[in-house]
Chain A
Amino acid sequence: MLGYIVRRLFQAVIVIILVTLGITLLLHVLPGGPARAILGPRVNAVQIAQFNHDNGLDQPIWVQYGTYLGQITGLGPVLGGHGWQGVNFGFSYRLNQSVGSILAQDVPKTMLLVGLSYAIAIIVAVPLGIYQAVRRNKIDDYALTGASFFFYSMPVFWLGILLIGVFSFTLHLLPAVGPQGDNVGDLFTQLPALILPVATLALITIASFSRYMRSSTLENMVQDYVRTARAKGASDSRVLFAHVLRNAMIPILTLIGLSIGYIFSGALITEALFNYPGMGLRFWNAGLQQDYPVILGIIVIAAFGTVMGNLLADIMYAVADPRVRYSR
C-alpha cells in the first residue's frame, strides 16, 4: 500500500514537471512576447528592453524554466546559498501583486463555490442514481434520465443565463451577478448572490453524477454475487442495501476524489458568467492580458490540485477495493 502511494506520488511530481515545462515552452514560443501586450501602445523600444530585462525574458528559455522551477519549489534560493525562503510564484505583470498573494485570495473563493456545488450534487445525485437504477426502464427512470440528459447537455453558461433570466430579470428574486468581495468572508455576507452560481454548477453536476451512479449501481446489480444472494433467497431490498450499496460506495469515493480535483478548475465559466471573483475568472483575465506569471501560477496550482485529488481518489479506492492494490 505504501509502495503504491509512493509510486503515485513520484508520478505526480513527474506530471507537474511536465506540465510546467509544457506551458513554459508554449508561452515562450508565442510570437512577440508579452512586453508589448502588457505595456500598451505607448511603449517604445527602451521600455520593452527594460521590461524584458526586469522579467528575465531576455534569458535563454532553459534558464528561464530552471529559474521558474527553482522559484516555485523554493529550491532556487536554497541552491544559491540563500537558504529556504519559501515558495515564490513570481510577481504579476499587471496587478502589482505577487502571484502567491493573488492565489491566496482567489483559490479559497473558488473552493467555496465548487465545494458547495459538488457537496450538494453528491448529496442529491447518489440517492437519485440509485433510485434510477432500481427503477430501470420504468417510466420514472426515463423521465429522470431525460431530465438529467437535458441538464447535462446544456452549456454551463446557458443554464446560468436561463436561471438569471427567470430568477433575476423576471421574478426579481435573486441578483444577476455573483457575490463580489476581496476575501471569502465578504462572499458569505452576500448569500443570496451565491445561490444562482451554486445552483448552476450543482444542477449540471447532479445530472452527470446521477448518471454515473445509475450505471455503476446497474453494473453492480448484475454481478455474480447479486445472483448468488438472490439464489440464496435474499429479497430485492436486502440485496440492494446490504450488498450493492456497499459496493456502490466505491464510485462515490471516486466522485469525491474527482471533485477535489475540480475544485481548482471546474468553475471557470460559472465564474465568468456571474463575475465570481475566483481563480477561474482570474485566469481568464490573465490569459486575455498575457500576464504570464499569473497564468503559469494558476495552471501549476490547478494541475497540482487535480493530481492530488486524483491521487486521493485512487488511494481511497485502493483502500476500499483490495483488487486494485495488487493490480497495476
Chain B
Amino acid sequence: MTIGPVPQESALSIGPISVAPVDAPAEIQDIVPAYETRGVWRLALEVFLEHRLAVIGVGIVVFMMLFCFVGPLIYVTDQTTTNLNNQFFRPAVSGHILGSDQLGFDLMGRLMVGGQTSIEVGLAAALIATTFGVLYGAISGFAGGFIDTVMMRIVDAVLAVPGLFLLLFLAVALAPVTIWVLILVVAIVAWLIPARLVRAETLTLRTREYVQAVTMMGGRGSRIVLRHIVPNAIGTIVVNATFQVADAILLVASLSFLGLGISPPATNWGAMLSDGVEYYADGYWWLVYPAGIAIVITVVAFNFIGDGLRDALEVRLQKR
C-alpha cells in the first residue's frame, strides 16, 4: 500500500529479507535469566525513551490529539453553518486566528474538526487492517501447505494491483464515500503488509520448541495461533501498526486530494488541502499551509514512534 515510493514496511515484506533471523530471541534468553522475562519489556521501554525522536513523536501525537479533540471545547467556532459573507478572511482578521476558508468557516476550528476525522480514520483503518492482516497471516503461516499457498496467492493478487489504483477504484465503486466507507477502503488496501509480515514470523515461530510442545500436548490450532504465535510476533505487529496509522493518514489525504474523500460538510486535512490548492494561485495561502503542516507533523510523529519501537524491539542492534 504505497503512494509511490517504498515505505519501510513493504520493504520488509519482500520475502527473504523479512524473515527475522532465527536466533534473535535466543540471544535474549542468553542475556536475561528465565524468571526475569518481564525485564525484556522494561529494556525495550528504556531503549525507546533513549530514542529522542520517538519521544518527540509521542509528544506531538499527544498534542495533536488534545488539539483536535479538546481544542474545540476551548476555541469554540461554528463549524456547521456556512456564511458566505465571511469568506477568505486573512489570518488575524475579525477574530479568526488562521483566517477563514471559502465557506466562511474559521480555519483553526476547521483544522481541529478535520484533524478529528483524519486521526480517527487513520487509527480505525490501521486497527482493522492490522487485526485482519495479523489473523490472516498467522492462520496462513500456521496452516501451511495448500491453504497457505492459496491465501498467499490472494495476497499477491491484491498486492499486484498498485495500491492507489485499487484505492481509487474502490472509492469510485463505493461512492458516496462516508467515513466508514473511507475506513473500509483504506483498510482493504492496508491489511496486506501485516498479513505478509505475520505469516513470515509465523513460519519461523512455528518451528519453536514451545509450539511443538503445545501441539504434542494436543493444543488446538486456534489456541496456538492466538496464545502463542501472535503474542510472540507482537513486536513486529506493533511496529507495523504504527506505520499503518501514518500511512492511513496519508492515504486519506491522497484520496481527498483526488476528489474521492468524505463528502462535505465533514472534512479532513487532506480535503482541506485539496480545496485550498484550488485557491492557492489566488494568493489564499492560509488555506493550504496549516492543513499541510498538520498532516506532515502528525505523520512524522507516528513514523518516529514506529522507528523508536522498532529499535527498542530489535535487540540485536543495541550496544549492550
**Contact between chain A and chain B defined by CB under 8 Å:** yes
20 more CB-based (< 8 A) A-B contacts, given A254-B17, A317-B14: A18-B154, A22-B157, A26-B169, A30-B173, A145-B53, A154-B296, A155-B257, A157-B253, A157-B277, A158-B253, A169-B280, A176-B281, A201-B4, A204-B5, A212-B11, A258-B11, A262-B162, A265-B163, A266-B162, A283-B165
Which residues of the other chain, A, contact B53 by a CB distance below 8 angstroms? 142, 145-146, 149
Closest 4 CB pairs of A and B: A265-B162, A18-B157, A153-B299, A266-B4
Task: Report the separation of the CA atoms of residues A306 and B166 in the bound assembly, to the nearest whole angstrom.
Answer: 13
A 192-214 contacts with B by CB, 8 A: 201, 204-205, 207-209, 211-212
Judged by a CB distance under 8 angstroms, whether A272 is at the interface is yes
Task: Report the separation of the CA atoms of residues A258 and B157 in the bound assembly, to the nearest whole angstrom.
Answer: 16
Judged by a CB distance under 8 angstroms, whether B183 is at the interface is no
B273 with A157: CB separation less than 8 A: yes
Interchain Cβ contacts within 8 Å, total number: 193
A157 with B254: CB separation less than 8 A: yes
Which residues of the other chain, B, contact A205 by a CB distance below 8 angstroms? 4-6
Task: Report the separation of the CA atoms of residues A153 and B173 in the bound assembly, to the nearest whole angstrom.
Answer: 28
A212 with B8: CB separation less than 8 A: yes
Q: A121-B5, A145-B53, A155-B254 are in contact. Are A222 and B317 (CB under 8 A)?
A: yes
Task: Report the separation of the CA atoms of residues A280 and B158 in the bound assembly, to the nearest whole angstrom.
Answer: 18
Q: Shortest Cβ distance from A200 into chain B, in angstroms?
A: 9
A 68-123 contacts with B by CB, 8 A: 114, 121
In chain B, what residue has the closest Cβ to A205?
B5
Q: A158-B292, A204-B4, A205-B4 are in contact. Are A142 and B153 (CB under 8 A)?
A: no
Which residues of the other chain, A, contact B159 by a CB distance below 8 angstroms? 306
Task: Report the separation of the CA atoms of residues A15 and B154 in the bound assembly, to the nearest whole angstrom.
Answer: 7
Which residues of the other chain, A, contact B4 by a CB distance below 8 angstroms? 114, 156, 201, 204-205, 262, 266-270
Which residues of the other chain, A, contact B11 by a CB distance below 8 angstroms? 208, 212, 251, 254-255, 258
Q: Shortest Cβ distance from A43 into chain B, in angstroms?
A: 20
B 254-295 contacts with A by CB, 8 A: 254, 257-259, 270, 273-274, 277, 280-281, 285, 288, 292, 295
Judged by a CB distance under 8 angstroms, whether B218 is at the interface is no
Judged by a CB distance under 8 angstroms, whether B316 is at the interface is yes
Which residues of the other chain, B, contact A64 by a CB distance below 8 angstroms? none
Task: Report the separation of the CA atoms of residues A295 and B169 in the bound assembly, to the nearest whole angstrom.
Answer: 8
Which residues of the other chain, A, contact B208 by a CB distance below 8 angstroms? none
Q: A153-B296, A162-B292 are in contact. Are A302 and B157 (CB under 8 A)?
A: no
Judged by a CB distance under 8 angstroms, whether B156 is at the interface is yes
Task: Report the separation of the CA atoms of residues A272 and B164 in the bound assembly, to the nearest whole angstrom.
Answer: 12
Give which listed residue, A18, A215, A251, A298, contacts B153 with CB less than 8 A.
A18
A327 with B277: CB separation less than 8 A: no
B 23-68 contacts with A by CB, 8 A: 52-53
User: Which among B164, B250, B274 has the highest number of chain A CB atoms within 10 Å?
Assistant: B164
Interface of A is mostly: helix
Task: Report the separation of the CA atoms of residues A26 and B317 in the bound assembly, to the nearest whole angstrom.
Answer: 46
Q: Which residues of B contact A (CB under 8 A)?
A: 2-8, 11, 14-17, 52-53, 153-154, 156-165, 168-169, 172-173, 246, 250, 253-254, 257-259, 270, 273-274, 277, 280-281, 285, 288, 292, 295-296, 299-300, 303-304, 307, 316-317
A15 with B156: CB separation less than 8 A: yes
Task: Report the separation of the CA atoms of residues A30 and B303 in the bound assembly, to the nearest whole angstrom.
Answer: 37
Chain A to chain B contacts (Cβ below 8 Å), 9 pairs: A19-B160, A155-B250, A156-B4, A165-B285, A258-B6, A288-B172, A302-B161, A303-B161, A307-B156
Task: Report the separation of the CA atoms of residues A15 and B157 in the bound assembly, to the nearest whole angstrom.
Answer: 5
Which residues of the other chain, A, contact B246 by a CB distance below 8 angstroms? 153
B14 with A313: CB separation less than 8 A: yes
Q: Shortest Cβ distance from B310 into chain A, in angstroms?
A: 8
Which residues of the other chain, A, contact B162 by a CB distance below 8 angstroms? 262, 264-266, 268, 302-303, 306
Task: Report the separation of the CA atoms of residues A211 and B153 in the bound assembly, to the nearest whole angstrom.
Answer: 29
A284 with B168: CB separation less than 8 A: yes
Which residues of the other chain, B, contact A307 by a CB distance below 8 angstroms? 156, 160
Which residues of the other chain, B, contact A298 by a CB distance below 8 angstroms? 165
A 1-37 contacts with B by CB, 8 A: 11, 14-16, 18-19, 22-23, 26-27, 30
Which residues of the other chain, A, contact B6 by a CB distance below 8 angstroms? 205, 208-209, 212, 255, 258, 262
In chain A, what residue has the closest Cβ to B157?
A18
Which residues of the other chain, A, contact B173 by a CB distance below 8 angstroms? 26-27, 30
